[in-house]
Homo-oligomer: A and B are copies of this chain.
Amino acid sequence: MKATIRSVAKLAGVAPSTVSHYLNQTAPLSAATAKNVEQAIAALNYRVNLGARNLRLRKTNSIGVVIPNITSPFFGEIAAVMENKLWEKGFQTLLCISERSPERELSQVAHLVSRQVDGILLVYCSQKSRVAETLKNISVPVVFVDRRVPDQYSVCTDNFLGGRLAARHLATLGHRVIGLLCGEPSVENVAERIEGFELELRRFGLEVPEAYKVKGRQDLQLGLRITDLLQLEPRPTAIFATNDIVAIGAWRKLVESGFRIPRDISIVGFDDIAVSRFLVPPLTTVAQPSREIGGKAVELLIDLVQAGDSVKPPENVILAPTLQVRGSTAPLKKGGVDGKAIDGRLPQKTKSVSQHKSRRPSTNG
């Protein structure tokens, strides 16, 4: 049988409350009894039952983390940062992966509440309205992550600014014909990125015609559809993808098709996932401050948890992304569009010699 505070007390010849005092240093014990208790604990290999303690204290020192997935690098990093910070602050992480299922997400939140978590960090995937409704019946503090919810606590990236950064970068490089690989605009974060991107472009007197926008689910497949853009006339000289996975899909298709990045075409992503740096050339991208997001969200939640009644008013923390300029973008070549074109699946290199020659002068010199 597992040792309890009673069995320890009995062996030490003291009362259970004395053992409790010893454990929690909530009353001074005589050196003799302290030693007795200590020995009894060691002898029985006693470990406090946190479940029982939590029941009594009405506090579990645990936080629920609900997230669509953790294999995607962005969410994975956020989850990792959260767990780390929570552990350091003495909280256990109860992880729930919703797998982008609204039903699952809702039942996970309900379950966590039932488990008496002290708070919840939520990257929701359901409708904003539905989430808000669910929360009315919930008594524990919730901090929304990577989603902004009015009148609630939330921490997220300034996606609008991110879009603007990307646009400004491409525009100042001289690009005038720009294509867009964008996720579904129903996703708020995506919509904001596009909005920011287009607004900033307009400041440069530019715009992206509808034909130059490829839309779909934000995954690798969407990136591969860059072929659609490559057939347009004039061909875009730069691409903005609303996340790095999409950008990598495009990058891959371009490299496979014999295009040279950034000489033939520049490409900007969003997120700055770890892979982006590995590519050759590495991807220029708008870096989400994922560490800051996770860290700030935990801090905010713990504040809330510890606030008791003196809760501060809802707060939407919006953190600025930063542009990571790397090898996948370059100034527009003078002389306009080169001779490359996509013909079915295979590129036909109508070599314009002058261009091929000037590649990587240092290796050919």
- Please encode chain A, from 81 to 97, with 1 for each CB lying within 8 Å of some chain B CB and 0 for all others: 00110010000111111
By a CB distance below 8 angstroms, the chain B residues around A54 are: 51
A window 71-109: CB within 8 A of B: 71, 73, 76-77, 79-80, 83-84, 87, 92-97, 99, 104, 108
Segment at the B interface, from A27-35, A273-281, A307-315? A273-281
Q: Which of B51, B87, B137 contacts A55 (CB under 8 A)?
A: B51
Nearest opposing residue in chain B for A360, CB measure: B258
A window 218-239: CB within 8 A of B: 220
Identical chains bound together, number? 2
Nearest opposing residue in chain B for A220, CB measure: B278
Size of the A side of the interface (Cβ < 8 Å), in residues, is: 60
Asked whether A115 is an interface residue with its Cβ less than 8 Å from the other chain, the reply is yes
Q: Which of B280, B347, B363 contacts A255 (CB under 8 A)?
A: B280
Q: Is the CB of B92 within 8 A of A92?
A: no
**A152 → chain B closest CB, angstroms:** 19
Q: Is the CB of B97 within 8 A of A94?
A: no
Q: How far is the CA of A104 from the CA of B116 in the complex (A)?
A: 25
**A63 → chain B closest CB, angstroms:** 11
With A137-B45, A346-B362 given, is the CB distance from A50 to B116 under 8 Å?
Answer: yes
Q: Is the CB of A52 within 8 A of B50?
A: no
With A49-B114, A114-B47 given, is the CB distance from A80 to B97 under 8 Å?
Answer: yes
- Of listed A48, A137, A220, A279, residue having the most chain B CB within 10 A: A279
Q: Is the CB of B275 within 8 A of A278?
A: yes
Asked whether A349 is an interface residue with its Cβ less than 8 Å from the other chain, the reply is yes
Asked whether A329 is an interface residue with its Cβ less than 8 Å from the other chain, the reply is no
**A113 → chain B closest CB, angstroms:** 6
Q: Is the CB of A92 within 8 A of B115?
A: yes
Asked whether A69 is an interface residue with its Cβ less than 8 Å from the other chain, the reply is yes
Asked whether A206 is an interface residue with its Cβ less than 8 Å from the other chain, the reply is no
Q: Which of B55, B80, B363 contacts A69 (CB under 8 A)?
A: B80
**A82 → chain B closest CB, angstroms:** 10
Q: Is the CB of B47 within 8 A of A51?
A: no
By a CB distance below 8 angstroms, the chain B residues around A52 are: 55
Asked whether A303 is an interface residue with its Cβ less than 8 Å from the other chain, the reply is no
Asked whether A356 is an interface residue with its Cβ less than 8 Å from the other chain, the reply is no
**A329 → chain B closest CB, angstroms:** 17
Asked whether A111 is an interface residue with its Cβ less than 8 Å from the other chain, the reply is yes
By a CB distance below 8 angstroms, the chain B residues around A115 are: 50-51, 92
State the 9 A-B residue pairs at the shortest beta-carbon distance, nearest first.
A255-B280, A95-B95, A275-B275, A93-B95, A50-B115, A51-B116, A50-B114, A83-B97, A47-B114
Which residues from chain A sit less than 8 Å from chain B, CB to CB?
Answer: 2, 45, 47-52, 54-55, 60, 62, 65, 69-71, 73, 76-77, 79-80, 83-84, 87, 92-97, 99, 104, 108, 110-111, 113-116, 137, 139, 220, 248-249, 251-252, 255-256, 258, 274-275, 278-280, 346-347, 349, 360, 362-363
Name 5 extra pairs, CB < 8 A, besides A51-B116, A71-B274.
Answer: A52-B55, A71-B77, A87-B108, A255-B280, A347-B363
Sample (28) of A-B pairs whose CB atoms are under 8 Å apart: A45-B137, A47-B110, A47-B114, A49-B116, A50-B114, A51-B51, A51-B54, A52-B55, A69-B80, A70-B70, A70-B83, A71-B77, A71-B80, A71-B274, A76-B76, A79-B95, A83-B96, A84-B99, A87-B96, A87-B104, A87-B108, A93-B94, A220-B278, A252-B280, A256-B280, A258-B360, A279-B279, A346-B362
